[in-house]
Amino acid sequence: MKQNKQPKIGATVTSADNMPEIREGQTVALLQELHILTRDGKMNQDSRRKLKQVYHLYQFIEPLLKEVLESKDNVTLVDHGAGKSYLGFIIYDLFFKALQNSHIYGIETREELVARSQELAQKFNFPGMSFLPLSVAESTESKLLPEQIDVVTALHACNTATDDAIQFALKKKARHIVLVPCCQAEVASVLKKNKGQSLGKSALTEIWRHPIHTREFGSQITNVLRCLQLEAHGYSVTVTELVGWEHSMKNELIIATYKNLPRKRPAERLKEVLETVGLQEMSTRFYAEEEVA
Ligand SMILES: C[S@@+](CC[C@H](N)C(=O)[O-])C[C@H]1O[C@@H](n2cnc3c(N)ncnc32)[C@H](O)[C@@H]1O
């Protein structure tokens, strides 16, 4: 008879359990509450994909957390646009659970998701997790968050929430910023508005003349501007792919690490790119002149 190798409900996984997607020490009941595992310990295709995405991101985040812990004995992480907080819970379960005085904050506007995450954190006795029903912009001013944060993440935070997460990270002097942007409509709408004027000035406007190209180029240039913005604040930036295109259309992963690098050149490039593509009016979104001078 075939042996049932599914992990037991409520247990943590050991290497003896035959489920390669689940890592050693992970709390099985948590994965069930997050609906990554079904009640009988199985995983469907959707969950497998979600888990793969989160693990892939965790693989980039874990060394950053370790790096922070090389210079002090605690680490703080803020996850913006947390949604159901898959990312936060998995990072906590795999890494923070074993730490003292370290904290993950989930920022999310939907109150029912915040309440559910708070309930789960309590249920699993994760004292180093808090969830705040705030917009990213509100959290930047909130007294409920510390003045300094080590790592800031935003996984598919909608539209301009990624930009707000960058502002948050800059204000909190984050050491590391990990972004997987969602679609951003703001830049495309400005490109569209100024298209007529731009077409008369430069043949390069052909790149975004057709509506579908306006949207795609809008998305791409948004991320280019975000990278320059981070570099203009002294960060070193790498851009890579989160998972294969077959998994998600929004899989650009931007990782920025503060290195106090020279700011002048990227700040100049940022300004020049904004001018070249007719986005000068967006300079306050991507550029805070007084901060990078
Ligand atoms: C696409 S979901 C991603 C959720 C989660 N990060 C994930 O990848 O599973 C985006 C989430 O961001 C939240 N959100 C959108 N705009 C926000 C804002 N300005 N501030 C905080 N949360 C926001 C939405 O309510 C939603 O739950």
pLDDT in tens, the chain (293 residues): 344 444 444 455 543 355 667 888 888 899 999 988 887 778 888 888 888 888 889 999 999 999 999 999 999 999 999 999 999 999 999 999 999 999 999 999 999 999 999 999 999 999 999 999 999 999 999 999 999 999 999 999 989 999 999 999 999 999 999 999 988 899 999 999 999 999 988 999 999 999 999 999 999 999 999 999 999 999 999 999 887 545 556 789 999 999 999 999 999 999 999 999 999 999 999 976 555 55
- Separation of CA 191 and ligand 1 centre (Å): 25
- Separation of CA 251 and ligand 1 centre (Å): 15
Q: Is residue 215 domain-resident? A: yes
Handedness of CA 194, 195, 197, 202 (dihedral sign): positive
Question: DSSP characters for 55-86?
Answer: HHHHHHHHHHHHHHHHHSS--EEEEES-TT-H
Measured by CA distance, the residue closest to atom 16 of ligand 1 is 158
Q: Is residue 198 domain-resident? A: yes
Query: Which candidate, 273, 275, 279, places its Cα nearest to that of 190?
Result: 279
Does ligand 1 have an atom closer than 6 angstroms to the CB of 157?
yes
Q: Is residue 163 domain-resident? A: no
Q: Is residue 21 domain-resident? A: no
Backbone angles phi, psi at 83, to 5 degrees: 60, -125
Distances (CA, A) of 150 to 62, 79, 129, 170, 270: 13, 11, 15, 11, 26
Measured by CA distance, the residue closest to atom 8 of ligand 1 is 155
Query: Which candidate, 99, 25, 26, places its Cα nearest to that of 69?
Result: 99
Phi-psi region of 25 (alpha: psi -120 to 50; beta: other; left: phi over 0): left
Output the six-digit token pair for 25.
């020490």
Q: Is residue 56 domain-resident? A: no
Output the six-digit token pair for 12.
């943590």
- Separation of CA 197 and ligand 1 centre (Å): 35
Residue 255 CA neighbour count, 13 Å, CB half: 12
How far apart (Å, rounded) are the C-alpha atoms in residues 73 and 106? 21
How far apart (Å, rounded) are the C-alpha atoms in residues 23 and 5? 14
Q: What is the pTM of this model?
A: 0.91
Q: Is residue 169 domain-resident? A: no
Q: Is residue 9 domain-resident? A: no
End-to-end CA distance of the chain: 72
Does ligand 1 have an atom closer than 6 angstroms to the CB of 178?
no
Does ligand 1 have an atom closer than 6 angstroms to the CB of 114?
no
Best of 108, 114, 253 to mutate for ligand 1, by most ligand atoms within 8 A of CB?
108
Does ligand 1 have an atom closer than 6 angstroms to the CB of 50?
no
Residue 5 CA neighbour count, 13 Å, CB half: 9
Q: Give the type of residue at 39.
A: R
210: containing domain: 184-232+263-286
pLDDT of residue 242: 82
Total structural domains within the chain:
1
Q: Is residue 57 domain-resident? A: no
Does ligand 1 have an atom closer than 6 angstroms to the CB of 248?
no
Q: From the alpha carbon of 180, which atom of ligand 1 is closest?
A: 8
Best of 156, 166, 243, 253 to mutate for ligand 1, by most ligand atoms within 8 A of CB?
156
Torsion of CA 65, 70, 73, 74, to 10 degrees: -20
